[in-house]
Amino acid sequence: MADFLEITRPDDAHVHLRDGAALGCTAAFSAAQFARALVMPNLLPPVTGVAEALAYRGRILEALGPEPEFEPLMALYLTDETRPAEVRRVAETPGVLAFKLYPKGATTHSQAGVTRLAALAPTLEAMQEHGVPLCIHGEATDPGLDVFDREKIFVAETLAPLLEEFPGLRVVLEHITTREAAQFVGAARAGVAATITPQHLLLNRNDLFAGGLRPHHYCLPLLKRAVHQRELQRVAISGNPRFFLGSDSAPHSAAAKESACGCAGCFCAPVAIELYAEVFDALDALDKLEGFASHFAAEFYGLPRNTSRVRLERKTWRVPETIELSPTEESVPLWAGRELSWKLA
């Protein structure tokens, strides 16, 4: 049993760094773990244009201080107002990689999200033409739907027709949670991929209610049944380059989560690579971690592989109960107070 593992420095293809006072904390944790990260644009107001994305990127780099060993890559928030000209600007701007589709009302800060995808055909055509990927929060939003069915309904009713209508559109189905999504992506045409979070690999919906309501396990899309968790584990360790690491680390203050109407998101960035190592190790697939964490996202986005390496050590340690998110806010990280058996050196 090897007691350490060295891999190419990983990338996080999906992270929420927030803004303002929290940036010092969130950016530092991601930079400690990853070489690059695709930063989600669901700020208030959302990051809808290249100019705003570059300004946000500047604030992230400033929060990290001089010579950061971390490259923030930016995604723009797709709205009903996004025009093809913005797509062309993204295609011409290094460091701005993709658009993010939030169906309006699907999740945290999705009020400005898309109400009618069909009306965005010229914008989607421009993405297809310029090879600009569309990252998708894949949940149907009809309030009458069962919340546990939203992803599978989105895949069948929105994603499948979208891929047919735009056969060259590059798509990442983000933070997949169901067998249906995993199998759909596995069987889809070229140019379709998915990210998988550590929370959806480590937990299932029982963990939302284990011994009482667990607000720190509440994220969107929701955790699903164990059969879905097992399918996500299966594709994550399969070596199939369509499935890669996207932590969806989404910090909120402890107060905002431990509330009568708590908000969705798991703050996993402080321990993300260790959590993935835990899963891959438990599945006897540590040899598949490097592809999933360090190679496949770069391949999909057409980025060079990172040249530096990181070392993980087999060592039992305890995740802190809380982390100071800003001078006025504490956050509870995923796996708070629990033991892990891998640690980033």
Q: Which residues bind Zn ion (CB under 5 A)?
A: 248
Binding part of the chain for ligand DOR, among 75-83, 86-94, 105-113, 318-326 by CB under 6 A, reads 105-113
CA nearest neighbour of 50 among 27, 73, 71: 73
Residues marked active site are found at 248
Q: By CB under 6 A, is residue 108 in contact with ligand DOR?
A: yes
Quote the CA–CA distance of 135 and 129 in Å, as a whole number.
Answer: 16
Nearest to ligand DOR of 102, 300 (CB atom): 102
Strand 309-318 versus strand 4-8 pairing type: antiparallel
CB of 318 to Zn ion, least distance (A): 27
CA distance 49 to 90: 9
Among 9, 14, 16, 170, binds ligand DOR (CB under 6 A): 16
Q: How far, in whole angstroms, is CA 168 from its chain's centroid?
A: 23
Regarding 257 and contact with ligand DOR (CB under 6 A), the answer is no
Say what angle helices 50-64 and 84-92 make with each other, to 10 degrees. 40
Question: Toward ligand DOR, which CB reaches closer, 232 or 286?
Answer: 232
Among 9, 36, 100, 137, binds ligand DOR (CB under 6 A): 137
Q: Which stretch binds ligand DOR (CB under 6 A): 104-112, 125-133, 153-161, 294-302?
A: 104-112
Q: Which of 264, 303, 340, 344 binds ligand DOR (CB under 6 A)?
A: 264
Does 219 engage in binding with ligand DOR (CB under 6 A)?
yes
State the minimum distance, in angstroms, from the CB of residue 249 to Zn ion: 8
The entry of ligand DOR, Zn ion, none that residue 231 binds, CB within 5 to 8 Å by partner kind: none
Task: State yes or no: residue 17 binds ligand DOR (CB under 6 A).
Answer: no
Two structure tokens written together for 266: 């798991």
**DSSP string for 103-165:** BTTSSTT-TTSBS-GGGGHHHHHHHHHHT--EEE------TTS-GGGHHHHHIIIIIHHHHHH
Residue type for position 118: A
The site for ligand DOR (CB under 6 A) is made up of 16, 42, 107-109, 137, 219-220, 250, 264-265
